[in-house]
Amino acid sequence: MEQVSTFEMLPDEMILHVCQYLRGAEILYSIFNLNSRLNSTITNFCQHVNLQYTTYKQFKLVALEIVPQISGLIRSFVFNARWENFMFNTQSSIFSHLKLSLLFPQLYTLILINFVGAQSNLFLDKITDFFQLVKLDIRNCQFDNSTDSLKKVLAANNNRLKSILFDDDSTEFVLTSTNDVEAVSYPNIEELTMSIKTDKTLGSLFILVPNITRLHVDVEESLSASKKTLENIPILVHLKYFRLRSFDTQWSLDEITRILSKMPFLQRLTLNLSTEDKHFTNGKKFNEVLPSSLIAIHLFIMYYLSTSGSETDTILSTWPSYIRVIRLLHESNRYGVIHTVPCDLSSMFIPAYEASSILTSSIYTRNVECLKICGKQFLLDIHLIVQHFHQIRTLTIGPSYRLRAIQVAPNLDCLKIDLGSLKMVLDDVSTCELLQKRVVQLKITNIQDVDSIPLDIIAQKFNNLRDLSLWVEKPTVFIDSLTLTVLSMWKDKNLRSFYIKGSLTDEAAKNVSEWLMNHSHLDDEDSFLVEYDAKWITVWYQ
């Protein structure tokens, strides 16, 4: 008689409660095929599959044995570039001999992570003939930043995609100006989130997506060139929701006016910008340029005015009562922030000098998941700001948001930090105690000298660490010894994987698996995978 475990006898509600504390791949690895009732209970986890954050042993079983059994149910799938060689070149893998569209006939959302350069374009060639796939979510991927590269993404899956989202860590596209004669459009695209280098190419972007309904754009710099480039651009008649975010440049009200003139039926507008234009902070003038169709507006505008005085003192009085705004002041009275209430932003960029100005329990912080704090700051400033953001998942602290001095995500279990800042954190007892209890993924950037990394302290203090990434920036520095040191220091710890960016010597790179086994405790019987590609060594074990 087959023995039934106590776990299998638990009611569905209790099993689902247990599943809340596990990742999707862990659930499939632990529960799938115990019995038909449990398979039915975890159906939702079979429809949305993410194999991130697994051990190599778990990944092999789920990817090679379980995914082929449930592939017809899968509605969303996360694909990490670091898995590609294993999944497509392993002899027994179904991925090596079956077209992806046949393997995942019900796929609706595909999430791509960590693709770089030519690998990105080659994988796009595999995204074809999916009849259900309409959403592409691209994270930490570095495509070629040209217009042609963007066009290839927009045209993926035989022009069937409707929604394409690039996250903040992905490619910032440098689009070329497009003449009407050359214009190519992708009317299939209804939702797009992406970054472009300058506002000069906004017109080119508008031409590419004539039927867009939701457009979120990050612009690196404004060249005040939008007037000329937008003159002959058709209006976006379907656009209902537009978000413009730009931190490192100053915008004028005239520039925003020209952009909004191409959106006559806009219903929701979100602006998170900086300005030195006094007209931008004048509510009466700003209200005059808004489309009459607008029903919701969310602003978070950082401003710097050349003079202080009556003009700055009367800023709030210029705004109409139906657009409720709050002003956060710097002591000089020239710097400040104007934001609407509510301010429904999922991400926010805020100067450290506003630490004492933020309203307690203010509703404008309620939906913020990504917060960037800029300018000179102290730990007290950071605490005063962060205490108001209860839903925060990503925190970036540094003199410039691009430095990403500290990034914590999600729920403080992942820390991305440059080496200099990490050393300061390690010296701050209270901060270090908090992080070492929570952080399971540690990513250290801007490493110039491998001997300067306090690996012994990291191994000692970050007891819950499961994944470690190291960015060695100098191409002349070899990472052979660093790789072996990490293996040695975490030999008896619970590390799941580590990734090091840098150059291996020819001896190590020739056969990296054999080299590791000859110089470390790893051997043929260990369940591990090692790859060296595009100046990244990946070691995945357990």
Confidence of residue 247 (pLDDT cuts 50, 70, 90): confident
Which value, to the nearest 10 degrees, does the dihedral of the CA atoms of residues 44, 45, 47, 53 take? 150
Confidence of residue 421 (pLDDT cuts 50, 70, 90): confident
Confidence of residue 136 (pLDDT cuts 50, 70, 90): very high
Confidence of residue 429 (pLDDT cuts 50, 70, 90): confident
| Residue bearing tokens 């100005």 | 357
Q: What are the tens digits of pLDDT across the range 191-200?
A: 999 999 877 7
Check residues 414 and 412 and name the one with the higher pLDDT.
414
199: in domain: no
Q: Which helix (H) or strand (E) is 459 found in, with range? A: helix 455-461
Confidence of residue 406 (pLDDT cuts 50, 70, 90): very low
Under 8 Å between Cβ of 368 and 392 = yes
- How many angstroms separate the CA atoms of 330 and 353, rounded? 7
Confidence of residue 182 (pLDDT cuts 50, 70, 90): low
Q: Which residues contact 351 (CB under 8 A, 6 or more apart)?
A: 302, 330, 335, 337, 373, 374, 375
**Can you tell me the mean pLDDT for 130-139?**
97
Query: Measuring CA to CA, how many Å separate 134 from each of 107, 108, 165?
Result: 9, 6, 11
- How many angstroms separate the CA atoms of 169 and 175, rounded? 18
141: in domain: no
- How many angstroms separate the CA atoms of 275 and 303, rounded? 5
pLDDT of amino acid 180: 45
227: in domain: no
Residue 26: Cβ within 10 Å count: 17
Q: What is the mean pLDDT of the chain?
A: 82
Q: What are the tens digits of pLDDT across the range 440-498?
A: 888 898 899 999 999 999 998 888 899 999 999 888 899 999 999 999 999 888 898 99
Residue 176 has pLDDT above 90, yes or no: no
Cis peptide before 264 (omega within 30 of 0): no
151: in domain: no
Q: What are the tens digits of pLDDT across the range 342-360?
A: 777 777 766 665 555 565 5
492: in domain: yes
Least confident of 151-155, 174-178, 182-186, 388-392: 388-392
Which residues form the domain of 429?
Answer: 407-542
Least confident of 290-299, 402-411, 420-429, 498-507: 402-411
Question: What's phi and psi for 292, nearest 5 deg?
Answer: -65, -20
Strand, helix or coil for residue 274: strand
Confidence of residue 181 (pLDDT cuts 50, 70, 90): very low
169: in domain: no
Confidence of residue 420 (pLDDT cuts 50, 70, 90): confident
Under 8 Å between Cβ of 111 and 76 = yes
Q: Does the CA dihedral 142-145-146-150 come out positive or negative?
A: positive
Question: What's phi and psi for 293, nearest 5 deg?
Answer: -80, -10
Check residues 93 and 369 and name the one with the higher pLDDT.
93
**Can you tell me the mean pLDDT for 269-283?**
89
Check residues 173 and 201 and name the one with the higher pLDDT.
173
Residue 313 has pLDDT above 70, yes or no: no
- How many angstroms separate the CA atoms of 442 and 431, rounded? 15
79: in domain: no
Confidence of residue 382 (pLDDT cuts 50, 70, 90): low
pLDDT of amino acid 292: 94
pLDDT of amino acid 479: 95
pLDDT of amino acid 394: 65
Count: domains in the chain = 1
224: in domain: no
Check residues 122 and 182 and name the one with the higher pLDDT.
122
Q: Checking DSSP bridges between strand 325-329 and strand 441-447, what pairing results, if any?
A: unpaired
Confidence of residue 324 (pLDDT cuts 50, 70, 90): confident
pLDDT of amino acid 216: 96
